[in-house]
Every structure is written in structure tokens, then in C-alpha cells.
Amino acid sequence: MLSIKEITSSEISLIRKLTNNIWPQTYASILPQEQIEYMMEMMYSEESLKAQFGEGCRYIVIYNDEDPIGYASFRKANSTTYKLDKIYIFLDQQGKGIGRFVMSYIIEEIKNDGAGYLQLQVNRNNVKAKSFYEKMGFEVIHEDDFDIGNGYFMNDYIMEKKF
């Protein structure tokens, strides 16, 4: 049975463990290994995760019975818009409706806070994720290249869902 638990900054080790088992496999065919390692440190070091919590990011962990199978994070960007920063589910759990379950949870949470929009960034080469977001009602509003340092860029679509 699927469930979601919002976690606190005291549970960062769980996010790091899930990330190490999900993130590299998700991007292995899209990004060079060196960039994956750089981004893992940049976004998922203990210091970075603590800073994200401090900036108002909410992290949730998705469970199938007792087993954690993924995570997501989202935050308020302004009075009407939230940003979905992360949603990652083990590859062998994808295609089972779990992503839809998580998105429904997040949308309900933010609509209760008065959100009118949910935005996200998705790598332009991540066709599978982009297709999922489109099925969930997101539309590409523009594309951008974000310099993340060390000579690396995130080449993303910016997508948005209106409520």
C-alpha cells in the first residue's frame, strides 16, 4: 500500500540514501558520469539539503508498505506559484501509478495553500519524464540553460500546470 510521509531535516540521511540509489541511474543515459557526480554533491550533500530545508523546501518520502521507494520536494516560489524541485522513484517502481499518486498529493497540499500554479524544470533529453508531466497536465512555457558551475549546464524545459 502506498503512503507518503513528510520528513524533517533530521532525516536527511534517508534522502541521501534514496538519492544514491535512484539519481545516478535516472541520468546515466542523459548526462556524463562526471556531471552526475558533481550534481549529486551540489544538490544532495548534507550541507545542501540542510540549506534547502532552511529555504522552505518540503521533502516527502514515498513508501510501498514499509519500503521507501522514492522522494519529492517542493516549495513556495511566490504567493500563487509553487515549484516542484524533485520527484524521483526507483526505476523498477515506475509505470505503476506512483508518480500520479505523488503528484496528486503535492497538488492537493499546495492548492490548500492557495496555489494557482505548479512549475518544474525537466532535462530536455529526459523524454520519459517530460511525457509523464504532460500527461499530468503540465505544459512547456519556455526552455533555459542554467549554468551550475564547473563548466556544466542544466538544459531544461520549464513546465507549468495551472489549477
Cβ neighbours, 10 Å, residue 66: 7
Q: Over the chain, what is the mean pLDDT?
A: 96
Cell of 1: 500500500
Residue 12 in contact with residue 46, Cβ under 8 Å? yes
**pLDDT tens string 56-104:** 999 999 999 999 999 999 999 999 999 999 999 999 999 999 999 999 9
What percent of the chain is modeled with pLDDT above 70?
A: 100
Q: What is the pTM of this model?
A: 0.94
Cell of 48: 545542501
State the Cα–Cα distance between residues 128 and 53, nearest whole angstrom: 28
Strand 67-76 versus strand 58-64 pairing type: antiparallel
Long-range contacts of 148-153 (CB under 8 A, 24+ apart): 148/38, 148/39, 148/42, 149/38, 149/42, 150/38, 152/35, 152/38, 152/39
- 113: confidence class by pLDDT, cuts 50, 70, 90: very high
**Domains, the chain, ranges and CATH?**
2-162 (3.40.630.30)
pLDDT, position 143: 97
Beta-carbon contacts of residue 79 (< 8 Å; ≥ 6 apart): 114
